Amino acid sequence: MNVVSVAHDFGGLKRAFVEMLEEARLQPQRERAEVMAEYAGNAEQILAEAAPKRSLGEGYYVRVGYLLELESVMQLGILFAAADVNMSETHGLLALAAARREFDKLHPPCKGCGVRLDNEGETKCPACWAQGRIEG
């Protein structure tokens, strides 16, 4: 049986953050599914399909939450002495950056409105196509 230190499993942290970004991207769909489920006979199935898909132990998501807070604090310009910031935190912050790059690649922003697209390689969302908001 594996015993993993969450703070040092940077691949796991990256994966957890990609899943959290995906959850945020799909939040509007979940809200629509919740409305549909109120009137549907298969409400449980609809809600289950729309539910967040987390694959890791809860500790990963808790740690990502802390790293995001730490990142926000540092972006405010609050400086920590180098000796005070643990290497696991530094590598954790790098894992967040790698997760963002992966998410950007998987779901590039629509060139018209900025909404995250479903698939890699797309350039516009259906709404922008319909409104002819952008050329090409």
Residues that bind another protein (CB under 8 A): 1-7, 9, 11-12, 15, 48, 51-60, 62-63, 65-66, 69-70, 73, 78, 80-81, 84-86, 88-89
Q: Give me 59's structure tokens.
A: 């500790």
Nearer to another protein, 2 or 119 (CB): 2
| CA angle at 118 for the pair 125 and 58, rounded to the nearest 5° | 140
Closest approach of Cβ 25 to another protein, in Å?
17
- Residue 86's SS3 state is coil
Closest approach of Cβ 127 to another protein, in Å?
30
Which residues make Cβ contacts (< 8 Å) with residue 117, sequence separation at least 6?
Answer: 107, 108, 109, 110, 123, 124, 125
Closest approach of Cβ 102 to another protein, in Å?
16
